[in-house]
Structure 1
Amino acid sequence: MRQKNPDGRMPLFDHLKEARQRILKAVIGIALAAVGGWYLYRPTIEILSRPLKQVAAAEGRLAELNFGTVISGFDMQMRVALYLGFFIASPWWIYQIWAFIAPGLTKKEKRYTIGFAAAAVPLMAAGAALAWWVLPQAVQIMLSFVPKESASLMDAKLYFTFCLRLIAVLALSFLLPVIMVGINMVGLICGRTYLSWWRWALVGILIFAALASPLGDPWSLMLLATPIYLLYLGSCVIALFVDRRRKKKLAERDARIDAGLEI
């Protein structure tokens, strides 16, 4: 446990020890939540299969999921449990991140981080909801390349991994505004700097989406990359607005100082 320290300073070894404890607590929380996720496997699989069945039925296609090996079902249940554990435990591991950095922050910065931490969970939920809205479109695109007179026997592992990764990537990408605006509000990076990085951001997001997509096709890559890049641009706009407010407040304070109203 970290000892009380007014200025938040501590030796490097204590920082590393504290980080290890926080990471361990976060991992334990995710593992415990994954146990609950294990028992939610059946309803989760049914929900994730629904877009495929609905699109196939609407277009008069035959689409089935195929588990190719004896252990495919067990392997898939483990994956689903871990993904669910990560989402269910998100308030816990977000709190662990906040608890690690909070002692080194000023009171004003703590207020900011509390607000950001409180916004992180609903933002992740919004990202997951967007992924759920995008998923049928993604399935429809994938099935559009299959001739109508043919049956589509999809690899269940690839399909469910695609669904889970799409949800996870979009949920985590919705934390991008929290991170970018937080850095901007403490004065480390201004909005114009963010905006000047748009080319590098686009390249980085495309690389990230390519690595996150299990299918490796351009359609799934664009489905992942487009909302993330829009979030980046939206964060730039918010950061520019924050910069403008900051400059206005500084100008008002300087005016009061010049008028002798503030020392």
Structure 2
Amino acid sequence: MASNPLRRLIPSGRKRKPWSRKHNPDGTMTLLEHLRELKHRVAIISLALTVGGVIGWIWFETKIGPLPALETLLREPYCGIPAAQRFPSDQCVLIQQQPFEAFIIRMKVGLGAGAALVSPVWLYQLWAFITPGLYARERKFARIFVFSASFLFIVGTILAYVVIPAGLSVLVGFAGQFYVTALSGSSYVSFVLTMLIVFGVSFEMPLIIVMLNRIGVVSYEKLKKWRRGIIFGLFVFAAVATPGTDPVGMVVLALALTVLFEFALQLCRVHDKRKAKRDETSKWANISPDEAAPLDLTPSAPETATPEPVASAELPRNRYDDAT
């Protein structure tokens, strides 16, 4: 059987990736190559989520270094409810209303924690799938994007974890002395996970704004013009996205997003100012010394000449004037 001549171009044991930047500098690919790359990225993300889910499953009941178990972290906001309003008052436990409810909760929490732990992996794969369609100056923000996205997501979840006890105390406080709180495990864990995810994902908003500004989609002037509408939309989003009727979570999320938006707005202002200065410098730097500088042919308003006062000239006198 005749050997394939292309095999000599590919080292043995290695399969060339058509989307690799080393072998494909301009990032051009066919539709089939795009589908193969998507399959490759999804496989890596699935493997990373599986590994993270296993770690989260073990972490649910086991301490990892100085970190307490996930079960303990989840129950702490619930244990912050006054004992007189909690059932049973002498214990801090949740109720299992259905068979295998505890198993489903552990799997759900483990997958969520694992996805957060391996977030740099799937964020990088997501960015790497987008970058072939971008320019080189846009692809260099991959590391900054991954690090910033992971950092902002973690900060958002920490803020949500701090806010949850205050929100539960306010909600339970409306019950007064006539009710006691006995939450089921599934409803309580769903509430906590939803708060963590909403806060974590919402904190990615400034990063998206900055990246869109970097690639030239939005400018500082447009964002400044839309500032009031965007801030109003952030408050509406916080009211809709926050689970339940927690007023504390709504206000804290809206204020945090407003602060992050203002911070992103200032970053866009600095970037646009530097870009304008750089463009102005490069415009004059590209002119050849032998080339005439461009003339400013902008029509200007005609100048109106002001008439100068004419000095009255004294007529010469002749001899007939003296005689008369």
TM-score bracket, shorter-length normalisation: 0.7 to 0.9
Answer whether contact 1:72 1:157 (CA < 8 A) is retained. yes
Between the aligned partners of 1:20 and 1:211, the Cα distance in structure 2 is 35
Answer whether contact 2:48 2:122 (CA < 8 A) is retained. yes
Shift of 1:110: 2.4
Between the aligned partners of 1:13 and 1:116, the Cα distance in structure 2 is 28
Percent identity reads 28
Shift of 1:205: 4.7
Shift of 1:172: 2.0
Runs of 4+ in 1 over 6 A off after TM superposition: none
Matches within 5 A, 1:202-221: 205=234, 209=238, 212-215=241-244, 220-221=249-250
My pick for the range that moved more, 163-172 or 192-201, is 192-201
Partner of 1:180: 209
2:54 maps to 1:39? no
Distance 1:195 1:144, change over 3 A: farther
Letter paired with 2:34: H
Of 125, 137, 149 in structure 2, the residue corresponding to residue 108 of structure 1 is 137
Give the total of aligned pairs. 261
TM-score, normalised relative to structure 2: 0.69
**3-state SS in 2 of match to 1:66:** coil
Shift of 1:204: 5.7
Partner of 1:78: 107
Between the aligned partners of 1:209 and 1:16, the Cα distance in structure 2 is 37
TM-score, normalised relative to structure 1: 0.84
Residues 39-73 of structure 1 deviation map (CA, whole Å, 9 limit, x = unaligned): 2223212112112212425xx53256322222221
Between the aligned partners of 1:205 and 1:16, the Cα distance in structure 2 is 36
Residues 111-164 of structure 1 deviation map (CA, whole Å, 9 limit, x = unaligned): 222222222222222222212222222222222212145321123222211111
Answer whether contact 1:158 1:215 (CA < 8 A) is retained. no
My pick for the range that moved more, 20-29 or 226-235, is 226-235
Which structure 1 residue ranges, 5 or more long, are not aligned?
none
Choose 1 or 2 for highest CA Rg.
Answer: 2
Residues 169-215 of structure 1 deviation map (CA, whole Å, 9 limit, x = unaligned): 22222222222111111112112323444466457656755664442
Which structure 2 residue ranges, 5 or more long, are not aligned?
1-16, 62-68, 294-324
Letter paired with 1:32: V
Letter paired with 1:126: V
Matches within 5 A, 1:1-263: 1-3=17-19, 4-42=23-61, 43-57=69-83, 60-63=84-87, 65-148=94-177, 150-198=179-227, 201=230, 205=234, 209=238, 212-215=241-244, 220-254=249-283, 256=285
Give the structure, 1 or 2, with the largest relative contact order (CA under 8 Å, sep 6 or more).
1
Between the aligned partners of 1:198 and 1:132, the Cα distance in structure 2 is 29
Distance 1:213 1:156, change over 3 A: farther
**3-state SS in 2 of match to 1:67:** coil
**3-state SS in 2 of match to 1:100:** helix
Between the aligned partners of 1:247 and 1:179, the Cα distance in structure 2 is 21
